Amino acid sequence: MALPTFFVIGAAKSGTSSLHFYLDQHPEIQMSANKEPRFFAGPDRGIPFPPDKVWERAEYERLFDPSFRVRGESSTDYAAHPRRQGSAERIKELVPEAKFVYLVRDPIARTVSHYKMGVALMGERRPLEEALEDVNPLSPYVASSLYATQIELYREHFPAERMLVVDQRELLADRAAALERIFTFLGVNPEAGKIESEEELLDSAQWRTYSPEYLGFVNRHVAPRVQWIPRGFRRSVRRAVERVLWPPLETPSIDGEVGERLRATYAEEASRLRRLTGLELPSWSV
């Protein structure tokens, strides 16, 4: 059994599922089959962990193959302070030499995408204006966009050079170059051959307002029985069925008061992020 050597810590809705998939194709990297084991994540305020949360260390270590020198997992709850607290401290205790890859995204766009995921997958039925009426750092839609706060907490426990911060737009604009930079940071061959990286996973443009009964049926009864079918074919069939059953989930407008509240909340965070990382982030809205 073994522990990971690095973590993709977030941010949620910034491309971590796609990055996890790309990293797992590198011949020198082993990624956990459970993409988000959340082993080091602290308790949430009133929101239970999903059923795939790993609680026991022995079970967690079984996710990693010691024959690989570089091993990783991608739990976005590790960068959701103050909603979840103490992840950096817990990682420091067990994996003191850990490295971190932190994907970030325009914080307002990320918040809206997180809200859409809530509507599609988590039973959120409030309109966006109501869900963000109080832009509270404890909100799951807000906490994961507080990028500077997360970085500052990790720097209390790890040297700055142990974390690579990557704007999601780098992966979208020049995926090969972005992956080469990440591979170099992780200490593996940056030119390891062809990585299948044309497809993005969990594309929010494909989401619908699914019923809880449908999601429960798929997750409990369908998914476990079709793992032998190629992933791309499974996804294309599922999407074709869902297009018939439900209309697409529209992206809500962030004009007016909602947009102003979000810009006011994230302006200082974005400014600190630029100072901490040297990233210019010219396409961001704050």
pLDDT of amino acid 250: 64
Q: How far apart are CA 240 and CA 253, in angstroms?
A: 27
* Three-class DSSP category at 148: helix
Query: What's the average model confidence in pLDDT over 214-240?
Result: 59
Q: CA angle, corner 26, sides to 97 and 23, nearest 5?
A: 65
Confidence check: pLDDT of 252 > 60: yes
* Per-residue pLDDT tens digits for 95-147: 999 999 999 999 999 999 898 888 877 777 788 888 888 788 888 899 999 99
Please check whether residue 141 is in contact with residue 131, taking contact to mean a CB–CB distance below 8 angstroms: yes
Please check whether residue 17 is in contact with residue 81, taking contact to mean a CB–CB distance below 8 angstroms: no
pLDDT of amino acid 228: 60
* Per-residue pLDDT tens digits for 4-53: 999 999 999 999 999 999 999 999 999 999 999 999 998 766 567 778 89
pLDDT of amino acid 257: 80
Instruction: Work out the pLDDT band at 239, boundaries 50, 70, 90.
Output: low
Please state the pTM of the whole predicted model: 0.84
Please check whether residue 78 is in contact with residue 40, taking contact to mean a CB–CB distance below 8 angstroms: yes
User: What pairs with residue 208 in β-bridges?
Assistant: 248
Q: How far apart are CA 143 and CA 135, in angstroms?
A: 10
All domains of the chain in start order, with CATH: 6-199+255-277 (3.40.50.300)
Please check whether residue 123 is in contact with residue 216, taking contact to mean a CB–CB distance below 8 angstroms: no
pLDDT of amino acid 51: 80
